[in-house]
């Protein structure tokens, strides 16, 4: 599913939003932050409220954009801790 990530179009897997739509369950972001002294802190976000259409159904593209925006904020906060294991931006994403 196309989303905007760091100002560029790319693709995101819509599974998270589809699960929220199907099960009507809350979405929370989870991350691990590295701390000095070989320590770590686990963080859970407040609920990421899904975007809904006029009928109240979870809007998959809008919800995925909201989730990706949270992830982008995490990366901006601790860029030195970010690792991505695949090509995030591909030429076909910009077609």
* pLDDT-derived band at 93, boundaries 50, 70, 90: low
Q: What average pLDDT score do residues 35-51 get? A: 97
The yes-or-no verdict on residue 90 having pLDDT over 90 is no
What does the pLDDT read at residue 73?
Answer: 97
Please state the domain extents for the chain.
Answer: 2-83
Give the tens place of pLDDT for each residue, 12-32: 999 999 999 999 999 999 999
The mean predicted confidence, pLDDT, of the chain is: 92
- Determine the length of the chain: 95
DSSP secondary-structure letter at 36?
T
Which residue is listed with tokens 């691990």?
Answer: 32
């Amino acid at each position: 599913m196309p989303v905007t990530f760091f100002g560029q179009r790319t693709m995101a897997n819509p599974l998270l939003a589809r699960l929220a739509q199907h099960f009507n369950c809350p979405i929370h972001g989870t991350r691990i932050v590295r701390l000095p002294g070989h320590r770590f802190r686990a963080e859970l976000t407040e609920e990421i409220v899904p975007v809904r259409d006029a009928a109240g159904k979870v809007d998959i593209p809008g919800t995925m954009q909201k989730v990706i925006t949270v992830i982008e904020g995490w990366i901006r906060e601790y860029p030195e801790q970010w690792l991505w294991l695949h090509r995030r931006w591909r030429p076909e994403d910009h077609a």
